[in-house]
Amino acid sequence: MPASPPRSTGTELIARLDRLPLSKPHRRLVFQGGMGFLFESFDGVLLGYAASAVVALWALDPATSGWLLASVFVGFLIGALIAGVLADWLGRRRVLMWALLVYVVFTVLAATASGPGELALWRVLSGIGLGAEATAIVPYVSEFLPQRHRGRSIGRTMMFLGVGHALAALTSVLVISPNPESGWRIACVLGVLPALCLLWWRRQMVESPRFLIGKGRLAEAERIVARFERETAAAGDPVVAAPAATGEPVEERTHDAGPLRRLAALWRPGMARRSSVVCLLWFTFQAAQYGYGTWLPTLLVLEGFTLATSFGFALAGALAQIPGYYLAAMLSEHLDRKWTIVLFMAASVGCAAGLSAADGAAAMFTCTVALSFCLHGVASPLYAYTAEIYPTALRASGMGVASAIARLGAIAAPVAIGYLHAGLGFGGVFAMLGGLLAAGAVVLTLWGLRTAGRSLEDLQGGSRES
């Protein structure tokens, strides 16, 4: 009886994944992950546009409006923490399936809300699904991508955030603005229909081989790697022999720590600085991003612009996000993720300063579009950077904690603007957001890790921290 061929080790399987060219199976994963981000951005921003209508319909004061705008981010925070540890413990695929289902159910219920309290409740619960989805996507997709294509491909995934923002703005113009009373409810339902299609499509989604290797499930991991090799060859792309594996050896079975131990491991020596930097960075970035994104339509209305004009400004800014994501992703492969983030954050500070001092519709429009381009360009390398700095056993947990801290910023900024707008005024709001971005850029410049061109396994150790 012939002997069975020797089974590949975890290190060999990862070398086989990393040597593949970017091909059909990678593009399919990027698209599936991108569609998840599309729903996150569409739903997370849509209420910012709908708020202008809801505030008038329900006669809400600014403070109540701020809490309503922040409600979805409370759910994001819970979902991010839960999804991070569960994705490292139970698997990326399972979390992504359940997250999308939770989003669908509670977004439908949100469309039936009869008051701000009920709407906030459903938004918190649907936000749990969105937060879980957003947390698990990048760790999952990045673990399939070869290192030479990782930054650019994650950037393409992030471009779907811009598409979601643009669709939310377009929905506000076409659906909410003509009939605000029913329009915002219809908009909620419109976001659910394609999510159901994606949920059906994801039935055939495979688990991350790196996750399976860490669990000692080498046979499953090898089948998935072999499938990627076959699909790549069938697409006409060359599949060359894997190079000799370099860097740290891959553990073929990690200690199956519980959720609390995984969270504690993020703050052990070698990981604490990484975790501190990304948490501070995410807090300042998303406080600025969602403070700007959720309040912009309402702030413009308070400045005397019509509802239709404010939605038009927001639509133009949303469209500007897409080239911002793309340019940042391209630069991050050459300039490094760290310095690309710093560059776009610094440019965002300048745009926020310009908007705070803008006088007249033309100047406000120009600064709005420029700020959207630069601010959302930060997200493209930032997601890739966060996934890269953690080992496989902690990658989703690290992304989950960073996402949860980011949601604290996303909650705090809309609420703070609701209370402080009367004293700060339009210009003061954007000066405050610019200050947050500047703080994040300084933290990353001084203590951030360089990651471009290095394999995920090479980044696992605590060395080479600059």
In this structure, of 24-33, 174-183, 273-282, 455-464, the range with the lowest mean pLDDT score is: 455-464
Given pLDDT bands bounded at 50, 70 and 90, which one contains residue 456?
low
Report the distance separating Cα 176 and Cα 153, nearest Å. 34
Q: Is residue 1 part of a domain?
A: no
244 occurs within a structural domain = no
pLDDT at 242: 58
pLDDT exceeds 70 at position 437: yes
pLDDT at residue 1 in the model: 43
Please check the confidence at residue 257 and state whether its pLDDT lies above 50.
Answer: yes
**pLDDT the model gives residue 10:** 83
Check: CB of residue 233 under 8 Å from CB of residue 250.
Answer: no
Determine the pLDDT at residue 51.
Answer: 64
Asked which of 183-187, 273-277, 431-435 is least confident by mean pLDDT, the reply is: 183-187
pLDDT in tens, 50-74: 766 777 788 887 778 777 877 887 8
Report the percentage of the chain scoring pLDDT > 70. Answer: 90
Q: Tell me the mean pLDDT in the region 267-277.
A: 91
* pLDDT the model gives residue 350: 95
- From the list 128, 100, 82, the residue with the least C-alpha distance to 35 is 100
Token duo for residue 160: 């779907």
Long-range contacts, 266-270 (Cβ 8 Å, 24+): 266/390, 266/394, 266/397, 266/398, 266/401, 269/462, 270/461, 270/462
Residue 203: how many other CB atoms lie within 10 Å: 7
Average pLDDT of the chain, as a whole number: 84
Determine, yes or no, domain membership for 414.
Answer: yes
Q: Is 203 inside a domain boundary?
A: yes
Tell which phi-psi region holds residue 372, choosing left (phi > 0), alpha (psi between -120 and 50) or beta.
alpha
Find, among 164, 191, 184, the residue nearest to 51 by Cα.
184
pLDDT at 254: 47
Distance, CA of 336 to chain centre: 19
pLDDT band at residue 3 under the 50/70/90 scheme? very low
* Inside any domain, residue 311: yes
Amino acid present at 424: L
SS3 of 295-353:
HHHHHHHHCCCCHHHHHHHHHHHHHHHHHHHHHHHHHHHHHCHHHHHHHHHHHHHHHHH
Residue 96 reports pLDDT greater than 50 = yes
State the average pLDDT over residues 123-128.
90
The pLDDT of 318-332, averaged and rounded, is: 88
Q: How far is CA 209 from the centre of its chain?
A: 22
The answer to whether the pTM exceeds 0.85 is no
The span from the CA of 429 to the CA of 434, in Å, is: 9
Residue 462 lies in a domain: no
**Number of domains within the chain:** 1
- Residue 162, CA atoms < 13 Å, CB-side half-sphere: 28
Question: Which of 143-152, 235-244, 260-269 has the lowest average pLDDT?
Answer: 235-244
Sign of the dihedral defined by the CA atoms of residues 222, 134, 159, 348, in that order: negative
- Residue found by looking up tokens 């006669």 in the block: 59
Cα R_g (the chain), whole angstroms: 22
Distance of alpha carbon 143 from alpha carbon 154, whole angstroms: 11
CATH number assigned to the domain comprising residue 161: 1.20.1250.20
Q: Mean of the pLDDT values across residues 457-463? A: 57
Angle, alpha carbons 367-383-146 (nearest 5°): 130
- Structural domain includes residue 248: no
Lowest mean pLDDT, pick from 2-16, 112-126, 333-347, 423-437: 2-16
Helices 24-58, 150-171: inter-axial angle, 10-degree rounding: 30
Q: What is the pLDDT of residue 313?
A: 86
- Half-sphere exposure of residue 231: CA atoms within 13 angstroms, side-chain side: 15
The range of the structural domain enclosing residue 131 comes to 10-239+257-447
Confidence of residue 270 (pLDDT cuts 50, 70, 90): confident
Residue 209 pLDDT: 94
Q: Which of 383, 381, 386 is nearest to 328 (CA)?
A: 381
pLDDT, residue 164, reads: 82
Cα(10)–Cα(401) distance, integer angstroms: 27
| Tokens 């009920």 sit on residue | 118
Has residue 339 got a pLDDT over 60? yes
Task: Using DSSP, state whether 22 is helix, strand or coil.
Answer: coil
Give the helix ranges, DSSP H, for 202-306: 209-214, 218-234, 259-265, 272-302
Of 254-258, 298-302, 340-344, give the lowest mean pLDDT range: 254-258
Which letter does DSSP use for residue 202 in this model?
G
Question: Considering the domain boundaries, does residue 98 fall inside one?
Answer: yes
Would you state the pLDDT for residue 52?
65
Stretch 299-325: mean pLDDT: 83
What's the pLDDT score for residue 287?
Answer: 92
